[in-house]
């Protein structure tokens, strides 16, 4: 079944402050005809598991005194997409011409209205590469009566993404985990800011005291876990620096969650995102975060304090040396297409897909390693497997619950 997403551009609020930044010609145009624009978010996105549709509308700041036709076209080079990728830290690919159809390259704002008829884009996802997000930049070129468009409002970016096929690591809850010995006492892991990300599913929650199912991190610094003696075993905590920050939300077994925990070690704040939504904002303990510390155990996935194992599955784990925004968390939920670029430009410190069953059962590869080794900077945080680990392949991400 086709999915249709309508993004309707709202009227712009033109304030005295904004008007002071517009030249006399702009003021004249604004007072007589207004402006035409792709208003609101620059990006309009659709998730496709099969061919589908995406729709949008264009707005004017004034109601039209007569029908106004607005003409648009694809941005005629990769320059606009490259600039947008750089602006938002993405790696979108241009949507091939054979994968979309737009029947009419104009739309109309009718007399007495300020929002155009919707424009529908048919998108065929056949041939989409696994892990690639595609983008079609469009730009307004003219209107029938010459209404102006400011440069910042001229472009919109239509984004199509599909499910990514992944492999998940299964941990048995009794002796299976991954630890990262090269993190120990690494000065690069003394951070002011951080983000931990991972996809996790619990098969069951711990039934014995202290009722902790460790997910990722290091105890007494920054550990993401389910359960504790201080909360229900199905609640999520960020435990560290003498405090345990607990979500009001209760989690289910057998359900996948994308977990992102953002730490502000300067202002001592912690933000917990589940499936891209901010669900908790709480105060942290002491300033600073040290992922190179050891509290009976070092930085690990599925274990802390030499136990407290996770009975469940995990994939796509990341450690960043900065606070990700909600938009970044949502955009890159399932894959980072260029780990080397993210390390060099965006403070990605460690990246583990946890999907390598053919690696001899010995280690989780840090995908920032090639850039670190090529540049001669940073530490490669390859992990070591312990216990009985198995894998589930051919899964789709995001996981439809």
pLDDT attached to residue 33: 64
Instruction: Give CA separation, 280 vs 4, 195, 285, 306, in Å.
Output: 31, 14, 16, 28
Cβ atoms within 10 A of the Cβ of 153, count? 21
pTM (predicted TM-score): 0.82
Domains and CATH numbers, the chain: 6-162 (2.60.40.1740), 165-397 (2.60.120.200)
pLDDT attached to residue 40: 61
pLDDT attached to residue 31: 41
Tens digits of residue pLDDT in 114-141 = 999 999 999 999 999 988 999 999 999 9
Average pLDDT over residues 358-374: 82
Average pLDDT over residues 150-178: 92
- Closest to 158 measured CA to CA, from 267, 230, 80: 80
Report phi then psi at 127, rounded to 5.
90, -5
Residue 362, pLDDT above cutoff 80: no
Residue 101, pLDDT above cutoff 70: yes
Radius of gyration of the chain (CA): 24
Average pLDDT over residues 323-344: 93
Mean residue pLDDT of the chain comes to 88
Q: Which of 206-210, 214-218, 359-363 has the lowest mean pLDDT?
A: 359-363
CB 313 within 8 A of CB 171: yes
Angle CA 220–304–279, to nearest 5: 65
Residue 104, pLDDT above cutoff 90: yes
pLDDT attached to residue 169: 95
Average pLDDT over residues 361-386: 91
> Which 3-state string (H, E, C) describes 51-97?
CEEEEECCEECCCCCCCEEEEEEECCCCHHHHHHHHHHCCCCEECCH
Tens digits of residue pLDDT in 238-273 = 998 878 899 999 999 999 999 999 999 999 999 999
pLDDT-based confidence at residue 401 (cuts at 50, 70, 90): low
Residue 21, pLDDT above cutoff 80: no
The pLDDT > 70 percentage for the chain reads 89
Query: If residue 201 lies in a helix (H) or strand (E), which one and from where to where?
Result: strand 193-204
């Amino acid at each position: 079944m086709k999915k249709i997403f309508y993004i309707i551009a709202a009227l712009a609020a033109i304030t005295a402050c904004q008007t002071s930044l517009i030249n006399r010609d702009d003021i004249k145009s604004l007072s007589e005809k207004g402006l035409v624009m792709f208003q609101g978010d620059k990006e309009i996105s659709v998730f496709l598991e099969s061919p589908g549709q995406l729709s949008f509308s264009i707005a004017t700041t004034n109601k039209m005194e007569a029908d106004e036709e607005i003409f648009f076209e694809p941005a005629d080079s990769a320059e606009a997409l490259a600039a947008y990728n750089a602006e938002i830290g993405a790696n979108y690919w241009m949507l091939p011409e054979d994968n979309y159809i737009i029947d009419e390259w104009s739309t109309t704002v009718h007399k007495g209205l300020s929002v155009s008829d919707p424009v529908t884009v048919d998108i065929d996802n056949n041939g989409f590469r696994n892990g690639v997000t595609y983008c079609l930049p469009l730009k307004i070129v003219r209107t029938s009566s010459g209404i102006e468009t400011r440069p910042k409002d001229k472009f919109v970016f239509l984004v199509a993404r599909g499910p990514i096929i992944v492999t998940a690591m299964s941990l048995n809850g009794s002796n299976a985990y991954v630890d990262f010995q090269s993190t120990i006492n690494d000065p690069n892991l003394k951070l002011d800011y951080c983000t931990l990300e991972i996809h996790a599913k619990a098969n069951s929650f711990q039934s014995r005291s202290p009722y902790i199912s460790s997910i990722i991190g290091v105890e007494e610094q920054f550990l993401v876990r389910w359960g504790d003696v201080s909360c229900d075993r199905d609640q999520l905590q960020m435990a560290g620096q003498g405090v345990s920050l607990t979500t009001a939300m209760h989690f289910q077994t057998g359900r996948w969650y994308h977990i992102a925990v953002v730490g502000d070690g300067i202002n001592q704040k912690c933000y917990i995102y589940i499936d891209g939504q901010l669900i908790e904002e709480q105060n942290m303990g002491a300033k600073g975060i040290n992922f190179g510390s050891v509290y009976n155990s070092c930085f690990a996935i599925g274990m802390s304090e030499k136990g407290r194992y996770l009975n469940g599955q995990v994939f796509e784990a990341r450690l960043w040396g900065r606070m990700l925004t909600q938009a970044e968390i949502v955009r890159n939920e399932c894959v980072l297409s260029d780990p080397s670029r993210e390390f060099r430009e965006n403070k990605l410190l460690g990246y583990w897909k946890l999907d390598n069953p053919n690696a001899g059962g010995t280690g989780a590869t840090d995908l920032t390693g090639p850039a670190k080794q090529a540049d001669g900077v940073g530490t490669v945080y390859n992990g070591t497997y312990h216990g009985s680990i198995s894998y589930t392949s051919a899964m789709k991400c995001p996981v439809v619950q």
